[in-house]
Amino acid sequence: MAVKLDGKKLSQKIAVQLQQDVEKLKFLGVTPKLAVVLVGDDPASQVYVRNKRRMAQKIGIETSDLTLPAATSEAELLQTIAKLNQDSTVHGILVQLPLPPQINEETIIQAINPLKDVDGFHPYNMGKLFMGDPYAIPCTPNGIMQLLSEYRISLTGKKVVIVGRSKIVGRPLAALMINHNATVTVAHSYTKNLFELTRRADILVAAVGRAEMFTQTAIKSGAVVVDVGINRNDAGKLVGDVDQMKVADVASYLTPVPGGVGPMTIAMLMKQTVKFAERSVKGIGND
Ligand code: NDP
């Protein structure tokens, strides 16, 4: 039976450490501050933003919520970001995606000061990551790396297959894992004979968004399996991309859904915000 890679437990441990880091910063006169910009009233985005705010409050990070109407223009959002870039009390800026269709996401991401880019999506930060010298790391891949490290799962010399090549998960994770000496293959919807490939992986990362598409036949015996997917199955239950029941018998380690990668993503967002605030104190950050 696979060992559970418990993201919930690790995220709570990280939160306690961050509380202490924030105390130290406050003693030095700095309160880490995260600005969260939400455009429109997408229910899923509202839930994500609420969860982020709740964890920030628990840790002692100040949040500033800017909720803009769904009809907000790109120019108006750019103005909001320009103000946040200039505000020296704000250490991290997060624009909740997706944005309404009249706003170009790339334009917005590129307008954020890369030194305040907590999501790590700015091309500057993506470039730094791919060069092996990251400044800000996207939260989901960062959370996966922390989880593997916590359970002493080394990447050196391992064959990794990441299924999914999105900008928020697959691509940055591939860069991080290459930086940690893994041999990485990134698969996507055009990949032929997908399961032949995944069956050879020492570490499999499923980041597709298809309920329970990976069963035991897709997994090598003893593989480490990271399930990033968050889906609803036909019965309306929250499930990952991995059939957890079947794969648990074959894998050596497995992230549950929920309670695996999800809580780690939020924890990494908090960690990045605190790190930015620390850099501002040391004079090498955003001030
Ligand atoms: P995207 O939709 O942006 O990317 C999905 C990727 O999967 C694409 O690269 C796509 O290929 C690939 N893909 C689709 N179908 C197949 C297939 N049949 N075989 C192989 N590859 C396929 O999704 P995200 O990366 O944003 O998210 C993926 C999943 O992870 C979702 O369920 C999402 O909810 C979840 N997620 C969870 C997070 C967490 O914190 N736990 C954070 C972020 C996402 P192609 O590029 O060719 O289209």
- Local mean pLDDT, 10-residue blocks, the chain (287 residues): 98 98 97 98 92 96 97 98 98 97 98 98 98 97 98 98 98 98 98 98 98 98 98 94 98 98 98 97 58
Closest approach atom of ligand 1 to CA 240: 32
Beta carbons of 219 and 198 less than 8 angstroms apart: yes
Beta carbons of 225 and 247 less than 8 angstroms apart: yes
Domain 28-115 CATH (choose: 3.90.226.10, 3.30.1360.70, 3.40.50.10860, 3.90.220.20): 3.40.50.10860
The preferred substitution site among 42, 188, 190 for testing ligand 1, maximizing ligand atoms within 8 Å of CB, is 188
Q: Which residues pair with 242 in a beta bridge?
A: 214
Supply the pLDDT for residue 287: 44
Kind and range of the H or E run holding 184: strand 183-187
Residue 152 labelled as part of a binding site: no
CATH 3.40.50.720, the chain: domain bounds: 139-262
Annotated catalytic, 96? yes
Q: How far is the CA of 144 from the centre of ligand 1 (A)?
A: 15
Annotated catalytic, 220? no
Closest approach atom of ligand 1 to CA 213: 18
| Confidence (pTM) | 0.97
Supply the pLDDT for residue 283: 59
Q: What is the C-alpha to C-alpha distance for residues 177 and 211, in angstroms, rounded to an integer?
A: 25
Q: What is the C-alpha to C-alpha distance for residues 260 and 257, in angstroms, rounded to an integer?
A: 6
Annotated catalytic, 46? no
Please tell me the total number of residues recorded for the chain in this structure.
287
Domain 139-262 CATH (choose: 3.30.750.210, 3.40.50.10420, 3.40.440.10, 3.40.50.720): 3.40.50.720
Angle between helices 7-27 and 261-282 in degrees, nearest 10 = 20
CATH 3.40.50.10860, the chain: domain bounds: 28-115
Residue 164 labelled as part of a binding site: yes
Supply the pLDDT for residue 282: 73
Beta carbons of 253 and 151 less than 8 angstroms apart: yes
Residue 230 labelled as part of a binding site: yes
280 backbone dihedrals φ, ψ, rounded to 5° = -65, -35
Question: 6, 21, 33, 52: which is the annotated catalytic residue?
Answer: 52
